[in-house]
Structure 1
């Protein structure tokens, strides 16, 4: 479980606003398991049916942890799948996700305009578009090297937009 983070006033207001919106209108296929402390959410996500009726993940349920930092929404939160993570070419066994919108910096696509509802819908879409259940290349080596540290400390290269 994540430690409580001291939040800026902007972060507190934004997270509370997103939480209120989530409670009014949760994203399709998702529900909030916990949000205590407010800086750490756990989302339960139903695996989506894929395009053309492909059912790679539709009978599975996943848990996603979202840890907000003190500078949210200027900085993205840490977003990881809790064990067992989906078997997917962009999701490592330790739950780290190679998806540009989860990261800032020169390669990242994070925007403060993104909300956690949009993020989890993007994760469901990423699962739905996959056609081959396989782990990312170098999964075991990556997980051994980084362990459970923040995925934002990894140097991600986003070049595959097919899945």
Structure 2
């Protein structure tokens, strides 16, 4: 891992341990600077009330210049949230993970943004191209060039 990525991730992890995570977000595992796991729960009234999802963050040596690879984890009978921007394989079509990524964003900021994305959803449904995408999707969601055209859900 490049030293800039390790320094930044070390700083973020130290802040998480000293200040805690925002409400509804919990660090599950961060044993190294390659893969971290968080759970997120949408707070308040929403389509996802009471549901908890696990997010996996994978970092490369270019973090924070390059975004982490972030996806919902599907294990132990858990599925990805049913949402117009979340594919059934856990990949997330969100501009902040692609062309609108900024090095000022932190891991917890991404979690809060995804928590907010779920909270604002009015109808649980998969993306229209879910089946086709999942059949051909790469293992790493960062290798997908998503088209961001709908920020209303």
TM-score by length of 2: 0.93
Q: Which residue pairs with 1:10 in the alignment? A: 4
State how many pairs are aligned.
Answer: 148
Per the TM alignment, residue 90 of structure 1 is displaced from its structure 2 partner at its CA by 0.2
In the TM superposition, 1:82-121 aligns within 5 A as 82-83=73-74, 84-103=79-98, 108-121=99-112
In the TM superposition, 1:72-151 aligns within 5 A as 72-83=63-74, 84-103=79-98, 108-146=99-137, 149-151=139-141
User: Could you tell me whether the CA contact under 8 Å between 1:67 and 1:77 is conserved in 2?
Assistant: yes
TM-score by length of 1: 0.87
Mapped partners of 2:15, 2:145: distance in 1: 33
Q: Which residue pairs with 2:37 in the alignment? A: 42
Structure 1 gaps of 5+ residues are 1-6
Q: Which residue pairs with 2:55 in the alignment? A: 64
> Post-superposition, which runs of at least 4 consecutive aligned residues in structure 1 deviate over 6 A?
none
Per the TM alignment, residue 140 of structure 1 is displaced from its structure 2 partner at its CA by 1.2
User: Could you tell me whether the CA contact under 8 Å between 1:43 and 1:63 is conserved in 2?
Assistant: yes
Structure 2 gaps of 5+ residues are none
RMSD: 1.1
User: Could you tell me whether the CA contact under 8 Å between 2:42 and 2:116 is conserved in 1?
Assistant: no
User: Could you tell me whether the CA contact under 8 Å between 1:47 and 1:62 is conserved in 2?
Assistant: no
